[in-house]
């Protein structure tokens, strides 16, 4: 990593593993790699440095991230194309750039370091901040609007499904009571509400009790699972034969979705008992990780944000009808 980077404190998660996983697919001249979650540009910078002939297409929905990473990657000139887009728009972005297929795609899901570190974004429950949580603050509704306008049923649903929160109903009831007194606007009040709504025995284990509620609100505000559900098939479709996809997930809902798509592509669709399996029914992906890989203890010690990561890698092994 460049020592003169504008964001030297930023440590990309599982960087060496990502580079090694993509290397066989993107080392040849003319290779194109997509960084689907540009963030502060740590992975992109390393890709452009390690593979001097690769062309990078990087997308991010956060204008601030694009600005900072644009400064970081400026020295690479036209080898790097940065686009303001959500990662389910990758097929459109590539089409507009005239790129029919790519050799690598990298997803580093979840919240970027910049979004966590900037208090006024409202992603972190450890500090009081406006309840925003939008990755792109130019569009969509904020977390405060969700808390202040959603029905009890809708709030309980997103807390249970997106946050896997056992006490979703109790928390939703407390939110409705409290917003009658005063609308929610900052995170500290929500953290306190969640703490009080959860039984004391549960509060003593598992870290900050507001963690699951914040995760649920962030996923809802940014439509993360719906976007991912479109993004993974779109990215796989863009891969050339021999191309590789690397996905890092940070919570079980994301990882489950990624696993389903990768396993489906790596599984024959032929009925049992066929003596010869036609090519169109054979797997078109090859899984390159056994299950999901975890960060090493050494990496977690150096970068605590690597602790929950689940990494999966797959390679496209044949064409399919598009």
CB contact at 8 A, 45 and 2? yes
H helices of the chain, where?
Answer: 15-26, 42-50, 63-73, 90-96, 113-117, 143-149, 152-162, 168-181, 187-197, 200-203, 211-222, 224-238, 252-265, 297-302
Give the separation between CA 259 and CA 261, rounded to whole angstroms: 6
Q: What is the DSSP string of 19-43?
A: HHHHHHHH-STT-EEEES--TTSHH
The residue to which tokens 């079980």 are assigned: 252
**For residue 127, which of 239, 47, 210 has the smallest C-alpha distance?**
210
Residue 251 labeled ligand binder: no
Residue 110 labeled ligand binder: no
Residue 84 labeled ligand binder: no
Residue 108 labeled ligand binder: yes
Residue 42 labeled ligand binder: yes
Residue 136 labeled ligand binder: no
H helices of 58-186, where?
Answer: 63-73, 90-96, 113-117, 143-149, 152-162, 168-181
Give the separation between CA 143 and CA 223, rounded to whole angstroms: 12
Identify the three-state secondary structure at position 102.
strand
Task: Please classify residue 309 by burial: count the beta carbons closer than 10 Å to its beta carbon, then call 0-12 exposed, 13-18 middle and 19+ buried.
Answer: buried
Residue 215 labeled ligand binder: no
Strand partners, 293: 311
Sequence ranges of the binding site: 41-43, 60, 87, 108, 115
Sequence ranges of the binding site for S-adenosyl-L-methionine: 41-43, 60, 87, 108, 115
């Amino acid at each position: 990593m460049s020592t003169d980077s504008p964001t030297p404190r930023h440590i990309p998660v599982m960087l060496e593993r990502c580079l090694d996983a993509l290397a066989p697919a993107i080392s040849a001249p003319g290779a194109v790699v997509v960084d689907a979650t540009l963030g502060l540009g740590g992975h992109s910078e390393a890709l452009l440095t390690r593979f001097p002939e690769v062309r990078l297409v990087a997308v991010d929905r956060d204008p601030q991230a694009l600005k900072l990473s644009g400064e970081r990657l400026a020295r690479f000139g036209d080898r790097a194309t940065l686009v303001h887009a959500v990662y389910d728009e990758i097929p459109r972005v590539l089409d507009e750039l005239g790129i029919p297929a790519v050799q690598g795609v990298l997803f580093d899901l979840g919240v970027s370091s910049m979004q966590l570190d900037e208090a006024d974004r409202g992603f972190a429950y450890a500090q009081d901040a406006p309840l925003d949580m939008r990755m792109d603050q130019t569009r969509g509704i904020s977390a405060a609007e969700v808390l202040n306008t959603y029905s009890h049923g809708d709030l309980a649903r997103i807390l249970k499904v997106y946050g896997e929160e056992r006490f979703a109903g109790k928390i939703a009831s407390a939110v409705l009571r409290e917003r009658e007194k005063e609308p929610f606007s900052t995170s500290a009040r929500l953290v306190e509400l969640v703490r009080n709504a959860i039984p004391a025995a549960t509060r003593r284990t598992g870290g900050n009790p507001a963690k699951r509620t914040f995760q649920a609100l962030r996923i809802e505000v940014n439509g993360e699972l719906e976007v991912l559900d479109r993004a993974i098939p779109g990215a796989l479709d863009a891969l050339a034969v021999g191309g590789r996809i690397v996905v890092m997930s940070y919570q079980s809902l994301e990882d489950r979705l990624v696993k389903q798509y990768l396993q489906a592509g790596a599984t024959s669709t032929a009925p049992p008992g066929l003596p010869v399996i036609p090519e169109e029914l054979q797997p078109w992906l090859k899984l390159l990780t056994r299950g999901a890989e975890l960060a090493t203890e050494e990496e977690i010690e150096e970068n605590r944000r690597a602790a929950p990561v689940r990494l999966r890698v797959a390679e496209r092994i044949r064409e399919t009808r598009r």
